[in-house]
Amino acid sequence: MKKLLWFMAGITLGAVAVKQLNENPQARLFADEATRRAKSFGAAVSEGFREREAELDRENAK
């Protein structure tokens, strides 16, 4: 029962967020900026992982 309550709360909050994004251009700008930053962070983490993986491969090749 508790899980159902949290599920319904999540759906409600999601609906409210979508409504705000559609009605408020300032909220849309905030969401777009947050998305851009999240993608940038993900790209940096991915690049760092690839660099470290290549470094380890070079060390193991020796």
pLDDT (tens digit per residue) in 2-59:
999 999 999 999 999 999 889 999 988 998 999 999 999 999 999 999 999 999 999 8
Distance CA 49, CA 55 (A): 10
Within 8 A by CB and 6+ apart from 31, the residues are 21
Residue 1 pLDDT grade (very low, low, confident, very high; cuts 50, 70, 90): confident
In a domain, 12, yes or no: no
**Total of domains in the chain:** 1
55 lies in some domain: yes
Is residue 49 a part of any domain in this protein?
yes
The tokens of 37 are what?
């930053």
**pLDDT for the residue numbered 61:** 84
**Residue 35 sits in which domain range?**
25-62
31 falls within a domain: yes
pLDDT of residue 27: 87
pTM of the model as a whole: 0.63
Assess whether pLDDT exceeds 80 at residue 62: no
Q: Is residue 5 part of a domain?
A: no
